[in-house]
Amino acid sequence: MKKTLTGDRHNIMCAQWVQIMEQLNIGAFTIDRRRKITSLNSTAESMSGVKSDESIGRDCREVFSRIPCHLKCPFAEDDTPSAGSPVVELIDNQGTRHVVTRLAAPLYDRRRNIVGCLTVFQDHSPIADLINRVNYEERTLKIILDNLDIGVFAVNKGGHISFFNTAAELISGYNRREVLGRKFDSIFRGERVADFMRLSASTQNAEARSSGKMEIITHEDEKIPIRSEYMPLRNELGNIVGGLAMFQDLTVAQHMDKVISDRIAFHQMIGKSTAMRKVFAMVNVVAGTESTVLIQGSTGTGKDLLAKVIHTISKRAHKPFVKVNCASLPHNLLESELFGYARGAFTGADKDKPGRFQEADGGTILLDEIGDLPLSLQAKLLRVIEDKEFYPLGGRRTMKVDVRIISATNRDLENLAAEKEFREDLFYRLNVLRIDLPELKERTDDIPILIRHILKRLSARGEEKPREISEKAMEMLLNYDYPGNIRELENILEHAAVLCQADLIDKDHLPPYVRKRLASRRRKQRIQKTESRNAEKESIIQTLEQCGGNRTLAAKTLGVNRTTLWRKMKKLNIPL
């Protein structure tokens, strides 16, 4: 790690990101809001020929005078030259030419103010040189390609896949044995997957082509953001015999952007199970309306995330999203927190204070754990829903607000209403549109996708590349019942990722309580199976005794045919 400016938290954060890029062999540098370079790693130094000691504290436009500013730089001015393409050329001190892909992202502080910018350089020149030398039948180079961390696959002139490297397997979720010989457009699916047709064009006119960001849908139906490049393959005579595609998984970069800017997107709701498909379909309908929404689900199922998704894709997306946890605040403070208070309302109230409803005006308010809202405030909430107005605590004038209400709970509001613990009229006003989030044990098909997604997100927070899961560890995770749902799965994987020092998470890296709970569950299943077997054996013996040993009559009494009875008697060691 090279020299960095020191002093404030921003520079410490910048240094951490630049160091992460260093571990990935990616050049990176950061600037502050004055466009002064605050950190520069060794990879960027070797690519650009710029010395760290000579650049720290200097204006980035002066240091990188030969490189136009990136379009996404938050500090770019109207008169600043900028490059529309993310691909730029750098020349190091030895005169070596580097063709690099450049990306930029703003850096935010805790208040979401832009405090700097991170720029990364990824050198694809060595890979490009290798690809230019690829002969369609050279096994040695295929072995090299198989060890790259970028997905690579080759097709013949008919578009059938003839080579599929290990990274392509990891990114797409397909085993190479499944795809070799198949048409590439039958494997890769997605909204912009038509861009892969440029690969076919490369096999016809000998031109290398590239695409911008696109998404593919993996074998497990997970959407993966990628960037791809295509080029023709030639034989020893120079004739085009196929095409080659390189594609890079942008998931970690996307998660890094999420960590930096705290953005949220709809695709972060992960799932392919029938239950989650119904939820996604419901969300798309609900988001386009102004009706109140009730989200019900157990703890850890993602109710607050779902509420944020509804807001993000609604007409109110550019207005405030305010969350209030009705269970975390004392009842005597909850009214002033929700509705604010007027000056003089109580001792110490020396000025008016707006409540959370006023903060959410024009946007959406999430009332989390609504089942814990005291009855004394439920009438006031009902008036907000019906009349869009309320009195602040101690106030004499009503306040008008335009707020969409989303409520969430892990309790059964219908039963609470029946037991007079929740206002029935308020329940019906909240329950206009209702979404029930399934527990994780009810959507086991989603667990492998969620594991992959969570591990990639964890790698974006640290310095490691995404880890894989061993078969034994995956088997345990698939059979666990997750009383804490997705939140518990996240905690389990974070525990395993911290303990695992290799690339593969094994069962021993999982928390001990998971292994103990599974062992206890299996013991109970064995006991239940034994008890069930003994009960069935006793029933057959008693029936045979009642029928005087007549198997035909016994089978009829038991509701099975004679052959089935004979098989059961043999299996249960009943004398034939």
Specify the CATH superfamily of domain 274-436: P-loop containing nucleotide triphosphate hydrolases (3.40.50.300)
Which pLDDT tens digits describe the chain residue by residue (576 residues)?
444 443 455 555 556 566 656 655 678 888 888 889 988 888 888 888 888 888 888 988 888 877 777 656 777 665 555 555 556 677 776 777 776 777 777 777 767 778 888 888 777 655 555 444 444 445 555 665 666 667 888 887 777 788 888 878 877 778 877 777 777 776 666 554 455 555 555 555 555 555 556 677 776 666 777 777 777 777 666 677 777 777 777 665 554 444 433 333 344 577 778 888 888 888 888 988 999 999 999 998 989 989 988 998 889 988 999 999 988 888 778 888 888 888 777 777 778 888 899 999 999 999 999 999 988 889 889 988 988 888 888 877 888 999 999 999 999 999 999 999 999 999 999 999 999 999 998 888 888 888 888 887 777 665 455 678 888 888 889 888 899 999 999 999 989 988 887 778 998 999 999 888 887 777 777 888 888 888 888 888 888 888 888 888 888 888 888 888 888 888 888 887
* Residue 517, token pair as written in the block: 């709970």
The pLDDT, as a whole number, for residue 21 is 66
**Whole-number Å distance between alpha carbons of 381 and 388:** 10
* Residue 310, token pair as written in the block: 């509804």
Domain covering 128-249 in this structure, CATH number: 3.30.450.20
Domain covering 9-123 in this structure, CATH number: 3.30.450.20
Query: How far is the CA of 311 from the CAs of 262, 277, 293, 435, in angstroms?
Result: 15, 19, 11, 14
Domain with CATH 3.40.50.300 in the chain: 274-436
The pLDDT, as a whole number, for residue 256 is 42
The 3-class SS string of 5-56 reads CCCCHHHHHHHHHHHHHHHCCCEEEEEECCCEEEEECHHHHHHHCCCHHHHC
Domain with CATH 3.30.450.20 in the chain: 9-123, 128-249
Strand, helix or coil for residue 541: helix
Instruction: Write down the residue that tokens 């030259």 correspond to.
Output: 81
The pLDDT, as a whole number, for residue 192 is 45
Domain with CATH 1.10.10.60 in the chain: 517-571
The CATH architecture annotation of domain 517-571 reads Orthogonal Bundle (1.10)
